[in-house]
Amino acid sequence: MLEKIAFKVAAACLEEGLIVRALPGDVVAVCSLLIIDDAQIAELVARLQRGLDRVVAELAKEVSA
């Protein structure tokens, strides 16, 4: 259940239009533009948050089942 969370986060973020890479140890690396402004950073963080929220909700369902 709690294994491979980084892969779940990467998949959820991809659905939100954000590319992140799953790394060993349940770490994700955000792949951003090389030149990025404040508005783009805010959008990146919002997409990451939505992806994380999806995974948290999915894990909560698994735990309560």
Check whether 10 has a pLDDT greater than 70.
yes
pLDDT in tens, 17-59: 999 999 998 899 999 889 999 999 999 999 999 999 999 999 9
- The torsion region of residue 27 among left (phi > 0), alpha (psi -120 to 50) and beta comes to beta
CA dihedral 36, 37, 43, 44 (to 10 degrees): 30
**pLDDT attached to residue 3:** 66
Which pLDDT score is estimated for 34? 92
Contact 23, 58 (CB under 8 A): no
